[in-house]
Each structure stands twice: as structure tokens, then as C-alpha cells.
């Protein structure tokens, strides 16, 4: 285990020396940082360091764990719920061999409609969970991508006045579509965001999320019907497509960043520190003997 000097809260474990041999244990973990020693332009050594933390629990217990990536946690919830919804859709709702009209089903009509309604509620619950957590993952990704000193300028508003937004103002006041189309495009130096296949799916995701969060009446349930169209699965998958898109463009320019979650498809870039100095770290123990007091 190693601790950054002058940073008593941050303790890490060395999990390897070669990124190509690192095996992903759980896609929700924060990626290890690859610290590299460069001498005369040549790589002479490296190590993969993964952050850990300890939390107190009831009855004087404690749990030490590898720090998760919150974007990855949100995406994981989104994916699990989406998969559950797709199983229900494919195996129950869209299967022509299964009757879903209570009037045509044998047995007690009241029991039939009760059972079908429970099935529909399970499906709606999974879809809405996927929508909300996928959208929240994108919000977190966009906000974390913005550098602390970043400024976004809107040349003139409807009163002819230019507006300047700092990071806090961007996070609080600008809609997510503006963050993705204008701000992330600027930060990651990309010019064709709205031409991507996922853009229209994202716009629908935002609309559907707003329908859930800003529902105006308990009896207004028409928006549920959007969930029974096959494109709902592409809409709920759009957060993965968006983050993968920005990741791949960013990684191609060799600019890795700890915010990136592990992604299912393609390669995964590691955050790299190419200015490693052993004097900046202190060995405080190991997994087998524990942390020095």
C-alpha cells in the first residue's frame, strides 16, 4: 500500500506494473492510475495504483474497499434496469405466443388484469430507472469533464448582453444538451456532435427524463406509452454511446483522465502520470499485513 505524502486521506494499493496485463475485476471500480518513470525519453518502469478507502460501519466495524467510479455506478444501475426491462419486453410483451389481452386469457378476468398490471409496472419501473440513472450518469460525466477554470461565453442574450458562465454556473444553470453539444465539444475539441447517431436518442432521453421528474399530474400517464416502442432500448443505451464517443476521441489524443469508467466495447485507456517520483509516495503497509498505524 502506498500513500501520497502530504495527503493523509488518500491511500492506494499497487495492483500491477503492466497495463496490458491488468484484468478488470469489476467495471464499477475507479480505474488504477499508471505511474510511469521516463528516463531520456524511454520508459524505465511503471506501476498501476488503485485508490482504496475505509468506512466505519455500525458496532465498531469497518470496511475497506476499492474506490468506485460514480459514473460507473450510475451506468451500472442504468444497464441492469435496461436489461431487466428488455427481458420482460422480449419474453412477455413482444412474444406472440403469450397472450397479453386479459379478455382473451382463460380464467378470472380480475386476476388476469391484476397480473398483467403487475407485469407492466415491473417493466415501467425498470425503464424509468434506466432513464433516470442513465441521464444522471451523463450529467455527472459532463460536470466532471469541465475544468475548474473553464469559462463558457454566450455572445448575446435576448437583451443584447454577453453572458459568461464559470464551472459552477454551467453545472447549475445550463441544460445538459448545451453541455454536451457546446461545452464538451469545446473541451474535447469535437465539432460533429449533433451529427452522431446517438444525438436524437439523447434528446428523447432528456425529454423522457423530464417527463418523469417534472410530472405535472398524478393522472398524466400518457408518456408511459413511449416506453413500449422498440426504440426505447436505443434511447436508454445513448448514455453509453455518448461516453464511449468522447472517450475514444479523447484517448486517441493520449489525454487520459480518471473520470472515465470502464467501457464494455473497444479499448480502455488508463489514466497516466508520466512524471512519477518515488519521493512523492510513502509505503504504509500491504494487503496481507495491513496499514501501518
- Between 86 and 274, the more confident residue is 86
Count other Cβ atoms within 10 Å, centred on residue 159.
6
The pLDDT score that the predictor gives to residue 279 is 62
The pLDDT score that the predictor gives to residue 278 is 63
Per-residue model confidence as pLDDT tens digits over 16-41: 888 888 899 999 999 998 888 877 77
The pLDDT score that the predictor gives to residue 19 is 85
The pLDDT score that the predictor gives to residue 38 is 78
pLDDT exceeds 80 at position 160: no
Average pLDDT of the residues of the chain = 88
The pLDDT score that the predictor gives to residue 150 is 96
The pLDDT score that the predictor gives to residue 289 is 55
pLDDT exceeds 90 at position 159: no
- For cell 494499493, the residue is 13
The pLDDT score that the predictor gives to residue 100 is 86
pLDDT exceeds 90 at position 216: no
Lowest pLDDT segment from 12-16, 103-107, 126-130, 154-158 = 154-158
Work out the percent of the chain whose per-residue pLDDT is above 90.
Answer: 59
Contact 50, 30 (CB under 8 A): yes
What would the mean pLDDT of 236-265 be, rounded to a whole number?
Answer: 87
What would the mean pLDDT of 44-68 be, rounded to a whole number?
Answer: 91
Q: Is 43 left (phi over 0), alpha (psi -120 to 50) or beta?
A: beta
What are 241's three cell numbers? Answer: 454511446
pLDDT exceeds 60 at position 244: yes
What would the mean pLDDT of 235-241 be, rounded to a whole number?
Answer: 97
Per-residue model confidence as pLDDT tens digits over 174-194: 999 999 999 999 999 988 899
The pLDDT score that the predictor gives to residue 180 is 97
- For cell 407485469, the residue is 119
Distance CA 267, CA 287 (A): 29
Judged on CB neighbours under 10 Å (0-12, 13-18, 19+), 54 is exposed
Helix, strand, coil percent values for the chain (each to nearest 5): 45, 20, 35
The pLDDT score that the predictor gives to residue 293 is 55
Where does the pLDDT of residue 277 fall: very low under 50, low under 70, confident under 90, or very high at 90 and above? low
Lowest pLDDT segment from 42-46, 79-83, 92-96, 229-233 = 42-46
pLDDT exceeds 90 at position 253: no
* Closest among 205, 225, 185, 66 to 131, alpha carbons compared: 205
The pLDDT score that the predictor gives to residue 96 is 87
- Between 121 and 109, the more confident residue is 121
4: enclosing H helix or E strand = strand 2-4
Amino acid at each position: 500500500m502506498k500513500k501520497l505524502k502530504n495527503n493523509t486521506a488518500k491511500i492506494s494499493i499497487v495492483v500491477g506494473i503492466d497495463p496490458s496485463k491488468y484484468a478488470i475485476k469489476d467495471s464499477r471500480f475507479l480505474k488504477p492510475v499508471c505511474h510511469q518513470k521516463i528516463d531520456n525519453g524511454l520508459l524505465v518502469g511503471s506501476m498501476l495504483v488503485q485508490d482504496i478507502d475505509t468506512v466505519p460501519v455500525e458496532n465498531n466495524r469497518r470496511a475497506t474497499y476499492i474506490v468506485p467510479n460514480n459514473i460507473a455506478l450510475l451506468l451500472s444501475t442504468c444497464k441492469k434496469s435496461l436489461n431487466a426491462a428488455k427481458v420482460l419486453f422480449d419474453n412477455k410483451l413482444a412474444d406472440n405466443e403469450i397472450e397479453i389481452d386479459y379478455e382473451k386469457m382463460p380464467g378470472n378476468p380480475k386476476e388476469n388484469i391484476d397480473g398483467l398490471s403487475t407485469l407492466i409496472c415491473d417493466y415501467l419501473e425498470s425503464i424509468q430507472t434506466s432513464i433516470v440513472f442513465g441521464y444522471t450518469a451523463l450529467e455527472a460525466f459532463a460536470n466532471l469533464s469541465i475544468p475548474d477554470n473553464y469559462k463558457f461565453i454566450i455572445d448575446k442574450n435576448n437583451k443584447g448582453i454577453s453572458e459568461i458562465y464559470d464551472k459552477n454556473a454551467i453545472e447549475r444553470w445550463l441544460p445538459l444538451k448545451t453541455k454536451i453539444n457546446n461545452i464538451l465539444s469545446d473541451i474535447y475539441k469535437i465539432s460533429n456532435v449533433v451529427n452522431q447517431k446517438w444525438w436524437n436518442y439523447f434528446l428523447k432521453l432528456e425529454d423522457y427524463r423530464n417527463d418523469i421528474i417534472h410530472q405535472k399530474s398524478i393522472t398524466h400517464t400518457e408518456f408511459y406509452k413511449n416506453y413500449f416502442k422498440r426504440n426505447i432500448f436505443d434511447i436508454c443505451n445513448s448514455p453509453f454511446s455518448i461516453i464511449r464517443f468522447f472517450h475514444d476521441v479523447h484517448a486517441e489524443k493520449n489525454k487520459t483522465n480518471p473520470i472515465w469508467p470502464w467501457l464494455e466495447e473497444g479499448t480502455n485507456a488508463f489514466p497516466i502520470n508520466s512524471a512519477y517520483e518515488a519521493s512523492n509516495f510513502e509505503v504504509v503497509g500491504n494487503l496481507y499485513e495491513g496499514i501501518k498505524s
